């Protein structure tokens, strides 16, 4: 899942990809992108170990050239002097040994590989909890091959902290399996610019599910850099699908690396869709 995520996201030609319409797949005539290093890692207050995955980018359609990067030195440190040198569990997968993420701290990632260095930092926010979930039928008809399903709007209600600028990402699970809405995919992000310090209802639109399904919303309070990455990823995917100019999402990594180093706290709540 993670490898697929990396391959889709991190190519220079990322958004000139597949246009999917009415079950028809259109392949654009694209050249392969220049190989670059791809880094993805996250810090949370949950018990570790935390993972950093390092690969090379490669050809979008064939996945040729996508390889794990082994033998890198990977260090995560915080703003009060704690640090952890990660161990390589599998090729390209590095795990912390004793670091424990803590809210309201800034974490830095430093990587050394074949004479090159890469770095990034992110703030780990304070946890925000979900107050309640609600839903309503959207009225849009589901696909004919799933006649028992309906289309729902799922509402996540929470209260935003007043004393800070906050950023959020929402993921939806249906019966425990990660799913997508018909609008917005999995990258549902928002900032509190318009509702700072107030109760707020975030809606995930056009969710296809069946009565009696269990809907779970995962709400991550994310750092600004993580928010910018997923916000611009959404923009890139949208503009690419409509003939816009291809570009990569904003990264907080140095030295022309692709990917991001993120931090988040997490809350989740579930609701059963009644008949």
Residue listed under structure tokens 């926010």: 125
Q: What is the rounded CA–CA span in Å between residue 133 and residue 213?
A: 14
pLDDT (0 to 100) of residue 48: 86
Lowest-pLDDT range of 13-27, 98-112, 135-149, 229-243: 13-27
pLDDT in tens, 205-231: 989 999 999 999 999 999 999 999 998
Residues 24 and 115 in one domain: yes
In sign, the C-alpha dihedral spanning 88, 124, 36, 4 is positive
Domain containing 68 equals 2-125+223-241+258-265
Residues 150 and 35 in one domain: no
Lowest-pLDDT range of 45-49, 65-69, 226-230, 241-245: 241-245
Residues 14 and 114 in one domain: yes
Q: What is the rounded CA–CA span in Å between residue 60 and residue 9?
A: 10
DSSP 102: -
- Residue 209's DSSP bridge partners are 150
On whether residue 233 sits in a domain, the answer given is yes
Confidence of residue 29 (pLDDT cuts 50, 70, 90): very low
Residues 76 and 172 in one domain: no
- Domain count of the fold of the chain: 2
Confidence of residue 244 (pLDDT cuts 50, 70, 90): low
| C-alpha dihedral, 59 to 61 to 63 to 66, nearest 10° | 30
Residue 42's closest CA among 5, 81, 91?
5
Residues 154 and 63 in one domain: no
On whether residue 252 sits in a domain, the answer given is no
pLDDT in tens, 98-145: 999 999 999 999 999 999 999 999 999 999 999 999 999 987 877 777
Residues 232 and 106 in one domain: yes
Confidence of residue 59 (pLDDT cuts 50, 70, 90): low
CATH classification of the domain holding 167: 2.60.40
On whether residue 152 sits in a domain, the answer given is yes
Residues 14 and 32 in one domain: yes
Q: The pTM is what?
A: 0.79
pLDDT (0 to 100) of residue 58: 63
On whether residue 271 sits in a domain, the answer given is no
CATH classification of the domain holding 22: 2.60.40.10
Confidence of residue 245 (pLDDT cuts 50, 70, 90): low
Q: What is the rounded CA–CA span in Å between residue 78 and residue 109?
A: 9
On whether residue 8 sits in a domain, the answer given is yes
Q: What is the mean pLDDT of residues 71-85?
A: 95
On whether residue 33 sits in a domain, the answer given is yes
On whether residue 247 sits in a domain, the answer given is no
What one-character-per-residue DSSP string does 63-90 give?
A: -TT--B--S-EEEEEETTS-EEEPEEEE
Residues 106 and 228 in one domain: yes
Residues 94 and 150 in one domain: no
Residues 146 and 35 in one domain: no
Report the chain's mean pLDDT, rounded to a whole number: 82
On whether residue 246 sits in a domain, the answer given is no
Residues 206 and 230 in one domain: no
Residue 262's closest CA among 83, 89, 128, 120?
120
Residues 73 and 90 in one domain: yes
Q: Per-residue pLDDT for 3 more than 80?
A: no
Residue 125's closest CA among 233, 29, 219?
219
| Element spanning 238, H or E | helix 224-241
Confidence of residue 69 (pLDDT cuts 50, 70, 90): very high
């Amino acid at each position: 899942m993670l490898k697929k995520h990396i391959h889709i996201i991190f190519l220079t030609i990322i958004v000139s990809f597949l246009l999917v319409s009415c079950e028809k797949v259109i392949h654009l005539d694209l050249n392969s992108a220049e190989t670059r290093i791809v880094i993805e890692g996250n810090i949370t207050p949950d018990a570790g170990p935390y993972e950093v995955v390092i690969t090379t980018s490669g050809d979008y359609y064939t996945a040729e050239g996508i390889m794990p990067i082994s033998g890198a030195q990977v260090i995560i440190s915080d703003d009060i002097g704690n640090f952890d040198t990660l161990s390589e569990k599998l090729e390209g997968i590095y795990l912390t040994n004793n670091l424990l993420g803590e809210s309201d701290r800034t974490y830095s990632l430093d990587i050394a590989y074949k004479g090159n260095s890469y770095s990034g930092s992110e703030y780990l926010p304070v946890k925000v909890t979900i107050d309640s979930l609600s839903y309503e039928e959207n009225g849009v008809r589901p696909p004919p091959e799933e006649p028992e399903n309906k289309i729902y709007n799922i509402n996540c209600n929470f209260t935003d902290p007043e004393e800070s600028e906050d950023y959020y990402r929402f993921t939806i699970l249906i019966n425990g399996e990660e799913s997508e809405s018909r609008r917005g995919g999995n990258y549902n992000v928002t900032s509190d610019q318009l509702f700072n310090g107030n109760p707020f209802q975030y809606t995930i639109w056009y969710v296809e599910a069946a009565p009696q399904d269990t809907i779970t919303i995962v709400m991550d309070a994310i750092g600004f850099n993580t928010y910018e990455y997923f916000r611009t990823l959404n923009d890139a995917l949208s503009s690419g699908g409509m003939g816009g100019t291809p570009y990569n999402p904003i990264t907080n990594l140095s030295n022309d690396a692709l990917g991001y180093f993120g931090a988040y706290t997490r809350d989740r709540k579930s609701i059963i869709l009644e008949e």
